[in-house]
């Protein structure tokens, strides 16, 4: 009787171990790839959100500067707001009082404080913009207004101006970071004109979070604003100290933002840093025609 022989064999123990090792190695590679993709997605998201927030805040400041009448208090000298000679806020606080902490009550032009004043432009309440083709726009829309002439004040101090203040203040929730806030103290409402009421922003609004720089000379607070002027109105614009008596006509803005993401698990592992710089100069003409409140 012939002996039966097996012609096929199952996998040996060594082969099984090799196969398991290969599958484990492949799983580790796929896991690491998934982690890398997730990490890259978080970092890209943080950078994109940081860039968008920084650009939005920057564009807002640039627009205000370019349409400003003055950097600092137009009614005084040295860049401090409100100046004692300010006919609107020199003696009286705004509605709701002056902002409280952490807002700095000393609103003087510094690397952390920007004060700009913008003309109160006339806009007809009934026709502020071209919204009805059948109704012609008011030809006075867009003209700057002026205050009533007070004989006790110099005739120069009659322009009606909104005051916009940007400040770098500590972030109370993140001790290592700062936020950028804005407040708006409106000019006088022109009661005899059918004019839109200037807007008040008080308490200040936060328009940017995550400020961490730039810091100069070992300082702990970001130096965001620099100022440009022309001493004696001669030569090109250069960096100046506004309190030195030279009128500031331009502002340089530098911001370093750290974006940590909303997920607390990613706060310390995947921070993204964004740097941005821009410059803007006052574009208002000193010879603009004013509309009297008569």
pLDDT score of 248: 85
% of the chain with per-residue pLDDT over 70: 73
Distance CA 50, CA 56 (A): 10
Name the residue among 256, 236, 232 with its Cα closest to residue 245.
Answer: 232
List the one residue out of 158, 84, 173, 148 whose CA is nearest residue 119. Answer: 158
Residue 245's pLDDT is: 56
Can you tell me the distance from the alpha carbon of 16 to that of 108, in angstroms, rounded to the nearest whole number? 77
CA distances for 218 relative to 58, 63, 222, angstroms: 25, 31, 10
Q: Which residues contact 290 (CB under 8 A, 6 or more apart)?
A: 143, 144, 145, 146, 158, 159
Is residue 103 exposed (0-12), middle (13-18) or buried (19+ Cβ within 10 Å)?
Answer: middle
pLDDT of residue 76: 81
- Among residues 110, 71, 117, 114, the alpha carbon closest in space to that of 250 is found at 71
Domain ranges of the chain: 26-281
pLDDT, position 243: 64
pLDDT digit string, tens, across residues 192-234: 666 677 788 889 999 999 899 898 888 889 999 999 987 766 6
Joined tokens for residue 69:
């009448």
pLDDT at 288: 44
Q: C-alpha angle with apex 183: 76 to 219, nearest 5 degrees?
A: 80
Q: Which residues of the chain have pLDDT under 70?
A: 1-11, 35-43, 45-46, 127-135, 148-157, 191-195, 232-235, 243-246, 261-269, 284-294
- Which among 222, 229, 234, 233 is positioned nearest to 244, based on CA atoms? 229
Residues 6+ apart with CB under 8 A from 174: none
């Amino acid at each position: 009787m012939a002996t039966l022989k097996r012609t096929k064999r199952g996998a040996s123990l060594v082969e099984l171990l090799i196969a398991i090792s290969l599958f484990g190695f492949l799983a580790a590679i796929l896991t690491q790839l998934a982690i890398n993709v997730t990490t890259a997605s978080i970092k890209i998201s943080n950078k994109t959100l940081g860039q968008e927030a920084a650009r939005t805040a920057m564009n807002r400041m640039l627009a205000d500067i370019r349409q400003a009448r003055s950097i600092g208090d137009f009614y005084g000298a040295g860049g401090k707001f409100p100046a004692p000679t300010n006919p609107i806020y020199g003696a009286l606080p705004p509605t709701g009082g002056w902002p409280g902490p952490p807002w700095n009550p000393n609103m003087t032009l510094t690397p952390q404080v920007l004060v700009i004043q913008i003309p109160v432009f006339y806009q007809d309440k009934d026709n502020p913009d071209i919204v009805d083709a059948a109704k012609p726009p008011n030809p006075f829309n867009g003209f700057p207004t002026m205050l009533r002439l007070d004989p006790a004040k110099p005739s120069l101090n009659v322009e009606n101006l909104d005051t916009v203040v940007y400040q770098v203040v500590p972030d109370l929730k993140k001790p290592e970071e700062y936020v950028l806030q804005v407040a708006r103290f409106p000019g006088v409402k022109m009661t005899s004109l059918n004019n839109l009421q200037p807007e008040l922003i008080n308490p200040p609004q936060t328009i940017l979070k995550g400020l961490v720089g730039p810091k100069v000379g070992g300082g702990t607070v970001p130096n965001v604003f620099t100022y440009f002027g022309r001493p004696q109105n001669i030569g090109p614009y250069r960096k100046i100290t506004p309190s030195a008596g030279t009128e500031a006509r331009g502002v340089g803005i530098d911001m370093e933002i750290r974006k940590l993401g909303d997920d607390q698990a990613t706060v310390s592992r995947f921070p993204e840093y964004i740097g941005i710089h821009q410059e803007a100069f006052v574009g208002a003409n000193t010879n603009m025609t004013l509309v009297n409140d008569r």
